Amino acid sequence: MKKTNKIGLFGGAFNPIHYGHLFAAKEAVQTFQLKKIIFIPTGNPVFEKQELLGKQIRANFVKNAILDEKDFEVSLFEIEREAPSFFIDTLQYFNNGEDVLFTILGEDTFMQFHKWKSPEEILENSYLIIAKRYEGNFAATKSYVKEHFKKYEEKIFFLPHPLYPISSTLIRERIKKEMPVSYLLPESIEKEILENGYYR
């Protein structure tokens, strides 16, 4: 059976989701001709996360953020599981033998990829799209690929985009300092965060 659909899998804590995530996803659709991107909020993260909101709250953030995007959808696969969120399990769930899978990772997250469970199996069953998070031209990231995953170089792509300085950490820090976060994330999510006192 010929694989025809190219599907992006975008996992993460989304604590909170912001325009950097959304722009990178939109850019990935355009650049790699993806049929759609599935956002997969982390349920029970394996690595400790700072100031992590409840998983249902974060899942609702994602749902609200992508409401009007026909190319985006959200999966609650990790949210509804009690088990730790190892991405290899998620990938196996989506690997139906019919779609070509592209896993989207931020550059900072990817630099820890060798510590993940079964990273080579992930690369056997998926391409990677590394979205820019640092200044420069991916030089350190490309060196990391050569050091750890040289045999998979042809399966790892790099996605530059202009919004890389935006991060969930930046947003949380600004909220703690009572600084504005408008235009960094969707207005409905900003409103929910402020009304509920999240990250204070």
Predicted model pTM: 0.95
What span, in angstroms and rounded, lies between the C-alpha atoms of 111 and 125? 19
Is the preceding omega at residue 16 within 30 degrees of 0, hence cis? Answer: yes
Q: What is the pLDDT of residue 40?
A: 98
Q: What is the pLDDT of residue 49?
A: 79
What span, in angstroms and rounded, lies between the C-alpha atoms of 42 and 92? 16
List of E strands, 14-126? 36-41, 72-74, 99-106
**Radius of gyration of the chain from its Cα atoms, rounded to whole angstroms:** 16
What domains are there in the chain, each with its CATH number?
5-165 (3.40.50.620)
Q: What is the pLDDT of residue 3?
A: 67
18 burial level (CB within 10 Å; 0-12, 13-18, 19+): buried
Give me the average pLDDT of each 10-residue run along the chain (200 residues): 84 97 97 98 86 96 97 97 94 95 97 97 98 94 98 98 94 97 98 97
Reported as a single tens digit per residue, the pLDDT across 164-193 is: 999 999 999 999 999 999 999 999 999 999
Q: What is the pLDDT of residue 47?
A: 79
Q: What is the pLDDT of residue 48?
A: 77
Report H helices in 33-138. 55-65, 87-94, 107-110, 119-125
Q: What is the pLDDT of residue 24?
A: 97
Name the 3-class secondary structure at 111: coil
Q: What is the pLDDT of residue 93?
A: 97
Reported as a single tens digit per residue, the pLDDT across 134-168 is: 998 999 999 999 999 999 999 999 999 999 999 99
